[in-house]
Structure formats: C-alpha cells, structure tokens
Amino acid sequence: MTHPYTGKLAVLYENHGDPLPFVHLAEQLAVPLRNSADIGFDQHEAFFLSWREGMLKLLDHELLKKGGMAVDIEPRQGEQRSWPAPKDGALAKALGRKTKTVVDATTGWGQDSLHIFRMGYELLCIERSPLMAALLADGFKRLAQADWMQRLQLQPPTLLAGNAIELLASLPEPPDCIYLDPMFPPKRKKSALAKKSMMVLRDLLGDDEDKDALFAAALEATGKRVVVKCPDYAPPLGGGKPSDSFHGKLLRYDVFLK
Ligand SMILES: C[S@@+](CC[C@H](N)C(=O)[O-])C[C@H]1O[C@@H](n2cnc3c(N)ncnc32)[C@H](O)[C@@H]1O
C-alpha cells in the first residue's frame, strides 16, 4: 500500500538509545530509516519521525535542530485541570447534553479527542493515516502513564487505525455522537492563523476529499447525532442544513440529528 507521504517521510535514529523501536517503526510505516550521523541524511525527505525527550515527534528541516511536534496530552489553556472537566463551550454544546459515547472519526493530532476525553465522555478514536496513528499511539501511551490518569484509574481512549468510512460500519454499538473534523481546503494559500502542526498535516496528507462519503457513513452509523467541525467560510458538509450550529473562533460545529 502506498501512503500519501511516500518519499516525504523517514524515521530518524539520532544515534542514541535502542535502535530497535526505530527499525520497527520504519517497517510499520514502510518508510526509510535514516541515521543522523550519516552525511546527507537530510537530503531525501522533508519530514522525520524520532523519539525525543520520551515522545515520538514529527520533525521538519527547521525542527531537526531542536524541538518537534508530538501529540500534546496537556489540558488546553484555560481548561480546568480536574477530571472530568466541565462540559461547557461550543464543542460540548454541539456534542449534546445527553451524549455519553462519542466516536472521533478524524482524530489527527488528537487535540479535540483529548478535550472530549477530559470532559468525561466515553471515547473511541479513529485515524486512517498510519503516521498520525503512530503519533497518537505514543501520545495515548504517555497519557496512560500520567499521574492523574493512574490516580483515577482511567484508561486512555481506544484508537483504531484505519478508514472510518469502513470502520464505522462495523461498530458493535451505535455511539450517541460521531465527531468529524476533516481537512477542508484553506481559504487562502497559506493562512497565517493555521497552526504549524495542522499545516504539516495538510502538507503530508492533503485535503480529505472523501469527506462527503465519511459524512454519509457517520450519519448511517450514529445512534443520535453527527457533529462536524468546519471553518466558518465552508458550506455544511453533505449539502444539507444542520439542525443546529455552534460558533467558535473562525469555526463552526454543525450538528446533524439522525
Ligand atoms: C483536520 S485533522 C483532525 C484534527 C483533530 N480534530 C485534532 O484536534 O487534532 C483530520 C484528520 O482526519 C483524518 N481522516 C480524514 N478522513 C478520515 C477517514 N475517512 N478515516 C479516518 N481518518 C480520517 C486525517 O488523516 C487527519 O489526520
């Protein structure tokens, strides 16, 4: 199987620690393994995956020197640190007052998922990019080890790697809500407001052109509702009229009831 990032991504062994996890990750993703000690290692790919500071990180050429992008498991700024955090804000309103079970069918960097998880919903995550699934698996492993998770005896969300269009059709129970945040084409070529991690996702994976099929699969599989996060300039997914819309900063959560 070829992935959209073939030729763009390698696993990078930075010459310390056990090389075996790096070998396995390169095999799993079917991408080359490079060694930072080799001259010219950075001539081939634009992106690298490496473990730094105990986290799996995605690096571009700028980040090779320092840093990297990992799944951030810390609460967002302003979010209450107790668990469960209060169910307030536009996202919680869109998920619905009576909702208990949520499937995030487009998990990406897991930021919405982790917010949903911290508000106490029962959550299943789906991600089709093997690269993002590897970053998420690492993030959820770190989450499982967090003090507060262990104290409260909580398990991180389950992660399914694969295409949600297929996976949603075989859920054992219809969830109360299926949450979708597919990649929409940007309004401008380079938005100054887009976070670097999201721009990288677009570079590596491109737009999600099958979002209408995903929306149809979600409506079919949900028990009660589908929530779609979209930029405020985009028309509602599926061409229909949402039952309700909740507005955030430059974005909208459209609610479609079954
Ligand atoms: C815009 S990102 C989601 C960002 C995410 N909400 C967050 O908070 O980090 C879209 C993600 O959905 C994934 N995706 C799109 N269509 C999918 C599908 N049919 N099945 C599974 N994952 C999908 C893409 O691979 C990408 O990682």
Q: Which residue has the higher pLDDT, 60 or 4?
A: 60
CB neighbours of residue 52 within 10 Å: 15
Percent of the chain exceeding pLDDT 90 equals 81
Selection from 197, 203, 183, 162 nearest residue 8 by Cα? 203
Alpha-carbon distance values, 8 to 22, 42, 49, 58 (Å): 17, 11, 11, 12
pLDDT at 4: 63
pLDDT for res 52: 96
Binned at pLDDT 50, 70 and 90, residue 175 comes out as very high
User: Residue 197 CA: which ligand 1 atom is closest?
Assistant: 9
CA of 34 to the centre of ligand 1 (A): 27
CATH number of the domain within which 230 lies: 3.40.50.150
Domain's final residue, options 59, 74, 99? 59
**190 has a pLDDT exceeding 80:** no
Assigned domain for 175 exists: yes
| CA gap 110, 135 in Å, rounded | 9
Tell me: do 51 and 103 sit in the same domain: no
String of DSSP letters for 32-71: -EEETTSTTGGGS-SEEEEEETTEEEEE-TTTTSS--B--
Give the domain range for residue 23: 9-59
Out of 107, 111, 184, mutate this one to test ligand 1's pocket (max ligand atoms within 8 Å of CB): namely 107
For the entire predicted model, the pTM comes to 0.95
Q: Please determine, for residue 193, whether its predicted confidence score (pLDDT) is greater than 60.
A: no
Give the mean model confidence (pLDDT) for residues 53-82.
Answer: 91
Q: Which of 127, 209, 250 has the most ligand 1 atoms within 8 A of CB, as the residue to mutate?
A: 127
Q: Which pLDDT score, from 0 to 100, does residue 28 have? A: 94
The string of pLDDT tens digits covering residues 13-59 is 999 999 999 999 999 999 999 999 999 999 999 999 999 999 999 99
Answer yes or no: is 34 within a domain: yes
E-strand spans in 73-162?
101-104, 122-127, 158-161
156 alpha-carbon distance from chain centroid:
14
CA of 90 to the centre of ligand 1 (A): 20
Residues in contact with 125: Cβ distance below 8 Å, sequence separation at least 6, in sequence order: 103, 104, 107, 110, 113, 136, 157, 158, 159, 160
Residue 238 has a CB neighbour count (10 Å cut-off) of 18
Q: How far is the CA of 35 from the centre of ligand 1 (A)?
A: 30
Residue 246 in this model has a pLDDT that exceeds 60: yes
pLDDT digit string, tens, across residues 93-129: 999 999 999 999 999 999 999 999 999 999 999 999 9
Q: What is the pLDDT of residue 25?
A: 97
- Model pLDDT, residue 77: 80
Poorest-confidence range of 69-73, 78-82, 118-122? Answer: 78-82
> How far is Cα 258 from Cα 244, in angstroms, rounded to an integer?
13
Which residues sit with their C-beta closer than 6 Å to ligand 1? 105-106, 108-112, 126-129, 132, 163-165, 181-183, 201, 205, 208, 214
Percent of the chain surpassing pLDDT 70: 96
- Ligand 1 atom closest to the Cα of residue 113 is 8
Q: pLDDT grade, residue 185 (50/70/90)?
A: confident
Which DSSP category does 239 fall into? G
- Of the pLDDT bands very low, low, confident and very high (cuts 50, 70, 90), residue 70 is very high
Atom of ligand 1 nearest to the CA of 165: 19
What is the spatial distance between Cα 143 and Cα 160, in angstroms, rounded to a whole number? 17
Report the length, in residues, of the chain.
Answer: 258
Domain identity same for 217 and 177: yes
Instruction: Provide the number of structural domains found in the chain.
Output: 2
Task: Specify whether 204 is located in the same domain as 161.
Answer: yes
User: 74 lies in a domain?
Assistant: no
Of all protein residues, the one whose alpha carbon is nearest to atom 13 of ligand 1 is 106
Per the domain annotation, does 82 fall within a domain? Answer: no
Residue position matching structure tokens 């069918």: 105
Number of H helices, E strands in the chain: 8, 11
Where a domain ends, among 59, 80, 100? Answer: 59
Clarify whether residues 112 and 239 are in a common domain: yes
Lowest mean pLDDT among 76-85, 147-156, 171-180: 76-85
Q: Which string of b and e fits 169-182 if b means at least 16 CB within 10 Å?
A: eebeeebbbbbbbb
User: Which helix (H) or strand (E) segment is 131 a member of?
Assistant: helix 130-145
pLDDT at residue 1 greater than cutoff 50: no
